[in-house]
Structure 1
């Protein structure tokens, strides 16, 4: 098979830090070393290092020379060599944590399950499901907010990325709250311009459907609302898509507005009841002010009072205004 110009095959032959890292991990003994050092690691412990002989014994490698070769390959990349022994470096901890978070303790799934919450569009019961690393929230009656699963006729209200490990020892309601909180934290980090996965810079944008159909799910963009926020990392390609209301509710003026009306936006979001209260009481309306360049007004209303945030194309806040009843 010929290599196309600019293909990943060219990158493999050219080498580089990322390719070197993949090559280092492509060995059973090296992976066993990383897992063994992770098992001995204890947060806040004064010393979690292992001596060479103890590490080799735990890994189960009889050939000292071969073991030393593989350990040397990992040193200064994923393993730190100290006077007291060997331990995982920060990069090594990240690798093992990623594997554990991505696989969990066992295969995790959750069949569609009704939870104690209602659809904000029609008031019907909602249900959640977990599949392939995603928590899906569905309405049992209406078309929901958007669709991206052509094989499912249920209306989708939300979709959250969540590691399988998060499902351990949690009820369906707790799984939903964990997914909501995880995405909430990711979104806020990316609004600030820092990727929560790799610390890289963030590209932010407002997307607006030019031919939006207002009756239910739009056949052009697949959303109930005309606009959405998209944030993605320029380095590791981490991403999140959000409602514009969620972007506006991060601004300190909106946080203070809600607080004055008895609602804490940034506390208690691990609780399903508090999430429900936030969604019920701090409703938002989005108005398109300009298509070129995109400008949107997001208005949050509580107790008859309103606060309006105007967002630019890159999601920066252009102005804030309040109106009291």
Structure 2
């Protein structure tokens, strides 16, 4: 492979020109201070969120007007835009600052394993919730769980793993943290089902992944999952990924949502409390039947109070058939 001629690592082709330019723009403290100052001034519902040049310079604390103007010009048109009344953040600028506020650069909080009032859906034992490195882990205190850890993830044997920014822990009890992580994941999967990445709005690849040599006795040594098939999503732009059991995926379809609603169980509203999540586990059951392995096709049958509804998914997780 021919070596790169540039000495700058930001010239690496993998990220693309726009990404490398963005990193270069953010490599100066004054520019970052400008973004924070504009964000602190902004009122989301106000009519005037612009800051005049002199006021902005005073907020940042830069005495040299020429130097300040240089850094502001570098941001203008990217993370900042000039308007009649001064300067304000662009959508990209607001998104960047929000990501910092959500937890990037803040000391990472942790939650030691704490029991919550939820029973393991596999064995009925007590369940613990733990927060570490931006993830909420839900683990059974007795059985081996549903999933193996991925890569450097040493949480082998968990029931679920939810992504949650550090800001999600602020002011919440362990039970509320679990519920918030559930809601956040629900919205993430919903967006990815629709083919839109919730992080960057890029296109999403969807896959019904099936283990060809699955061991049905507990977690499979081949794939590391208890279930033979799982739903996998990957953004083609920012590479965000997520996965879900097929039983969870079934509950996004209107046919199943209607079944549960008819039996007094809301799946998409007012479920951000532990009692609602517990009722969802206790009252519903989803069986997975593989109609075909090559190509993958699965029928997901959800039962509640003796009534049932089913949907069939193909290898791209598209719905190909629905019960009456």
Is the shorter-chain TM-score for this pair beyond 0.5, marking a shared fold? yes
- Of 273, 286, 293, the match for 2:295: 293
Cα distance in 2, alignment partners of residues 4 and 281 from structure 1: 59
Query: Does 2:68 correspond to 1:41?
Result: no
Where do residues 60-99 of structure 1 align in structure 2 (5 Å cutoff)? 60-99=61-100
* 1:166 corresponding residue in structure 2: 168
What SS does structure 1 have at the residue aligned with 2:286? strand
Cα distance in 2, alignment partners of residues 127 and 35 from structure 1: 38
* 2:318 corresponding residue in structure 1: 316
Where do residues 1-325 of structure 1 align in structure 2 (5 Å cutoff)? 3=3, 11=12, 16-103=17-104, 106-148=107-149, 155-322=157-324
Cα distance in 1, alignment partners of residues 306 and 242 from structure 2: 32
Cα distance in 1, alignment partners of residues 232 and 118 from structure 2: 26
Aligned-residue offset at 1:299: 0.7
**Cα RMSD after superposing both structures:** 2.2
Does the CA contact (< 8 Å) of 2:10 and 2:20 recur in 1? no
Moved over 2 A (4+): 1-5, 8-15, 102-107, 149-155
Cα distance in 2, alignment partners of residues 122 and 18 from structure 1: 47
Does the CA contact (< 8 Å) of 1:160 and 1:179 recur in 2? yes
Cα distance in 2, alignment partners of residues 12 and 26 from structure 1: 19
Does the CA contact (< 8 Å) of 1:296 and 1:311 recur in 2? yes
Aligned-residue offset at 1:9: 6.4
Aligned-residue offset at 1:306: 1.7
What SS does structure 2 have at the residue aligned with 1:61? coil
Does the CA contact (< 8 Å) of 2:149 and 2:155 recur in 1? no
Task: Compare 192-201 and 142-151 and name the one that shifted more.
Answer: 142-151
Does the CA contact (< 8 Å) of 2:209 and 2:231 recur in 1? yes
**Could you list the runs of 5+ residues in structure 2 that have no partner in the other structure?**
none
Does the CA contact (< 8 Å) of 2:108 and 2:133 recur in 1? no
Aligned-residue offset at 1:55: 0.8
Aligned-residue offset at 1:102: 3.0
What SS does structure 2 have at the residue aligned with 1:269? coil
Cα distance change on mapping 1:129 and 1:104 into 2, 3 Å? farther
What SS does structure 2 have at the residue aligned with 1:216? coil
Cα distance in 1, alignment partners of residues 14 and 64 from structure 2: 31
- Deviation per residue, 1:110-130 (Å, 9 max, x gap): 111111111111111100111
What SS does structure 1 have at the residue aligned with 2:257? helix
Cα distance in 1, alignment partners of residues 231 and 13 from structure 2: 35
Aligned-residue offset at 1:106: 4.1
What SS does structure 1 have at the residue aligned with 2:43? coil
What SS does structure 1 have at the residue aligned with 2:220? coil
TM-score (norm 1): 0.93
Does the CA contact (< 8 Å) of 1:140 and 1:155 recur in 2? no
